[in-house]
Chains A and B, each alone.
Chain A
């Protein structure tokens, strides 16, 4: 059994508040008053899991949301405030069984040591379903929340200037160092470091723990981690990218890159650029997924989807625009578009539901069956085992393996016989440490 037949697409959903349209919270299905409760997030993730999606991402930020690029907008008519995404993911992990959980982490102001152990712990709590999405914050007002650094004023135009690009390069270089540290810390314990050798009194074999001795421009980290190597070994690292500088981060450090093509030709150009950067980074042989991001309004009739979009735009007082292409239509039309993009080299998609309470179920109950009928999605979760006689529960499918195209090796078959699910091939593969 191959983990993923080449014709199969991967599907993830990006969760952000009540949905990606700024007026989404006004919809009857939106439950805005529940936004700061665990139950709200548990219900969304359960819906995504029912649709056999590979994973959900959770947005986050170290400041209030804003309709402006680099500053606050003082608006009171849109969702403002959010809970820490890593903690939401962890709160949901014991309530779900199969779906990957990929919270956003801001690299600019946080500690890679803390985040590495947090995501490792999320991987333990979810038995191998953790990932993270790294994001930078060049916003001056967010830097003021920390008081350690100051950044210049930020605008969409300014960021395209040479000075802006230089600033962006610094931020993404820091993000690359950050991911390097996070990954090295995950590998700083070998899988079999815990020995519990009563004869010698040793709990661990300390020769299997390693300092990482990372020294970079913004931080140095000694290691090893305080948290043993997580079940997946290397949880999934993902990043959103819109231009060359972040494409380079994706190519150097990520397992999944999210990109925002507006048509098939654009998708082809982006994939070509990332693949070239991947070669240049010496990762040519490694699996790197490029997912297309799309905002979706999904209804059984195209007119209904378009009407809904128009109604929400009217409530918001302005037409909704996004870095990603905004789709309004039927599941069949969306399936056509995804197939068209996939033909240009995208291996999956991260859909951003315009209204979480409406468009997420439309994805899981409309789009997913449509793609299954077309043979582009499996009818059951990849890696889930057929019914087997009574005995220990089979290991759950680690997120990393679900995204792997490789045929299973004998190691993987052996791992399946191990109810702890720990002895995975990915765990043996040390990630560019030495």
Chain B
């Protein structure tokens, strides 16, 4: 929410550093960065009502590694617009440079719109998205594992730098990638970055069950969270995996104040700030798929019906298919607006997502713990509404309560993100037994 006077820069490093330091002070597991590789457009014009502009994910995470010691660094990186060798180098480098704190949220894209910024053009048929993403991840895992961990000796006395001239050798032959050679980054502290997955389709859930360590989910309500949790955890067995090998972490917004009543008030204020008149019209255009700029946001909803043709007014948004039946949505919204005497803006505010957690520190701490105990998630990825101070109060007021309840760490217990998340280090395929810290239970995952 950029319009608040307290809102700071979304691009200066100091904002990111403040977020990261606050999260580390509160002993959070990790910081999570989203990504967008083409500026969104609506009606053929760059969308100008939300925050626009972001840094490069890898580069900002590497810098954040310098101002934190324990915090995990999770980057969303699109597998469609990268190549396995380069991406594996970047994650292995980030893992080295952060002492084992790198994580990759694997996303795929399919649109030619974003592809216009890249060499390959990027268009992928819907059906090939996950097959390419799966092969991409499998290939990067082969690259991460191509160094076993004992090759790099650098013995000054004997002059042996590498134990094996063929260190990092790999051959991958598949439908999407046909590559071979030697990887040039020695095995990193975590072996592989922690793998996140965020897709929600049936294919996405299977992909997560087979190959991910954690899921960034959108189901932060109790019932929605429980249903998703059960569905995904039940898919693990067929891949030979245990329930604790895939963490479900819903993204959750919150409105925190001293009392529950004040928090309710704050929640409403924030929603009004987030939905300006202009934003309300753009949101309606998203469903109507028409230019509605002539409508008054404080006036009634349009009488005309949505345009249901294929060419959508909005480009570069993941949620284009969120409203699967726009005609029904429009009908429902008109009825709601009429029944409540709502303007366009009132409607968008009231039908939009309410914050997931609203209340005093005690209420929020109790709710979060209840949700986790009831299997609505293994934890939450908080989405603060103000940059960069939006996490400060949570860190100072809610975290101590969670710690008092004994459900959140009071200090980090290990150096790597895998330690924080209770995930074993991946099997290193180590051939000799000497001298590496790969002594945890092996955790060989299905390769694809």
Contact = CB atoms under 8 A, between A and B. Distances in A.
Bound pair: A and B?
yes
Interface of A: 25-28, 30, 32-33, 35-38, 61-65, 72, 74-84, 86-88, 90-95, 109-111, 113-114, 117-118, 120-122, 124-125, 127, 141-142, 144-148, 189, 194, 196, 198, 200-206, 209, 218-224, 226-228, 315
Contact of A25 (B156, B163, B185): B156
Contacts of A80: 161-162, 167, 184
Interface string B259-293: 00000000000000000111100000000000000
Contact of A220 (B13, B116, B156, B166): B116
Contacts of A94: 13, 17, 63, 66-67
Nearest to A31: B154
B14 to A, nearest CB: 9
B17 A222 contact: no
A113 B37 contact: yes
Contact of A227 (B45, B46, B53): B53
Contact of B66 (A33, A38, A114, A203): A38
Nearest to B158: A77
A76 B161 contact: yes
B12 A224 contact: no
Contact of B278 (A37, A76, A84, A200): A200
Given A93-B66, A146-B179, A198-B3, A88 B97 contact: yes
6 smallest beta-carbon distances between A and B, as pairs: A201-B278, A201-B276, A222-B116, A84-B93, A121-B59, A32-B154
B63 A144 contact: no
A315 B63 contact: no
Nearest to A96: B66
B156 A147 contact: no
Nearest to B139: A147
Interface string B167-211: 110000000011111101110000000000000000000000000
A31 to B, nearest CB: 9
A75 B282 CA distance: 61
B218 interface: no
B185 A83 contact: yes
B58 A86 contact: yes
Contacts of B2: 196, 203
B152 A125 contact: no
B86 A62 contact: yes
Given A36-B152, A86-B59, A121-B56, 15 more contacts: A25-B154, A38-B97, A72-B182, A81-B185, A90-B59, A91-B62, A94-B66, A109-B85, A111-B119, A113-B37, A113-B117, A147-B177, A201-B3, A224-B46, A315-B159
Given A26-B159, A38-B66, A196-B3, A113 B86 contact: no
Nearest to B5: A198
Interface residues of B, number: 73
B83 A146 contact: yes
A1 B53 CA distance: 36
B227 interface: no
A212 B93 CA distance: 31
Contact of B184 (A81, A120, A219): A81
A77 B159 contact: yes
B443 interface: no
Interface string B36-64: 11110000011011111111101110110
A282 to B, nearest CB: 28
Given A80-B167, A91-B63, A201-B49, A64 B56 contact: no
A26 B156 contact: yes
B67 A203 contact: no
A146 B82 CA distance: 10
A62 B184 contact: yes
B49 A203 contact: yes
Interface string B6-47: 000001110001000000000000000000111100000110
14 contacts: A25-B154, A38-B65, A38-B96, A72-B182, A76-B164, A83-B185, A86-B62, A91-B63, A111-B118, A118-B59, A202-B278, A226-B37, A227-B53, A227-B56
A36 B99 CA distance: 10
Given A87-B62, A87-B90, A78 B17 contact: no
B278 A25 contact: no
Contacts of A146: 83, 85-86, 179
B81 interface: yes
B118 to A, nearest CB: 6
Tell which of A75, A122, A218 has the most Cβ of chain B within 10 Å. Answer: A122
Contacts of B103: none
A91 B65 contact: yes
Interface string B410-436: 000000000000000000000000000
B54 A32 contact: no
Contacts of A315: 159
A204 B267 CA distance: 25
Nearest to B3: A198
Nearest to A90: B62
Given A25-B154, A94-B66, A147-B179, A62 B85 contact: yes
B301 interface: no
B66 A91 contact: yes
